[in-house]
Amino acid sequence: MGPFVRLGNAAGAVGIATVLLIAFGLQFGLNEPPCPLCTLQRVAFVLCSFGFVLNLRFGVQPLHYGLTLLGALFGVVASGYQVLQHIAPGAAAYGSPLLGMHLDTWSLLLFFAVIAVAALLLMMSGRPDHDRSDHQTAMRFRGILRFAVYLLIAVTLANAANSFAQCGATECAAKPTGYWISQYLR
């Protein structure tokens, strides 16, 4: 895996972690808990990032990009469905818009961007890293590559905690107004 492709995978992982952190910022800044479909779009971003994680740790392989594309397709379905729910004139969308578009529309565009980036990286990757030993790939897994993976793990764990605080062990409300855990913190 060339340095450009390696950095591209790290940028993909950090980019997805940044998107999830921005979603957190908007959630707490505007006090708008995510709807169930919004949370599933966050799940889709985490699923997308997994292929990048595998590429950074084990070297580039088509299977890893395939997992990223699967995650992005799931995200396209989840966000596309939500966009179609309010595409009719007068239909109310969930949440506040950001730079003129609602977050589900942003998600849809970002999932298309992930598909495009994964396709470009796959084309530039050249020969798969099957011939390298695990020791060789593990030796290269350091610095910013390791940071990108650890950041993603931290953001995913934060999302798990957030989801539990919002919904508990039960289903989330269709239009949530508060946090499930707040009833125990009074």
CB closer to other proteins, 92 vs 99:
92
CB closer to other proteins, 108 vs 172:
172
d(CA 24, CA 49): 17
Residues of this chain that interact with other proteins (CB under 8 A) are: 36-37, 39-40, 43-44, 46-47, 50, 53-54, 57-58, 63, 67, 70-71, 74, 77-78, 81, 84-85, 87-89, 91, 134, 138, 141, 146, 149-150, 152-153, 156-157, 159-160, 163-164, 167, 169, 171-172
The full DSSP string for 51-76 is HHHHHHHH---HHHHHHHHHHHHHHH
d(CA 123, CA 51): 15
Cβ–Cβ under 8 Å, residues 45 and 16: yes
d(CA 71, CA 54): 14
CB of 109 vs other proteins, minimal distance in Å: 18
- Tokens describing residue 74: 């799931």
CB of 40 vs other proteins, minimal distance in Å: 5
Cβ–Cβ under 8 Å, residues 144 and 17: no
CB of 85 vs other proteins, minimal distance in Å: 6
CB closer to other proteins, 5 vs 46:
46
CB closer to other proteins, 26 vs 153:
153
CB closer to other proteins, 85 vs 95:
85
d(CA 36, CA 42): 10
CB of 19 vs other proteins, minimal distance in Å: 15
CB of 146 vs other proteins, minimal distance in Å: 8
Four-residue CA torsion sign, 159, 160, 162, 167: positive
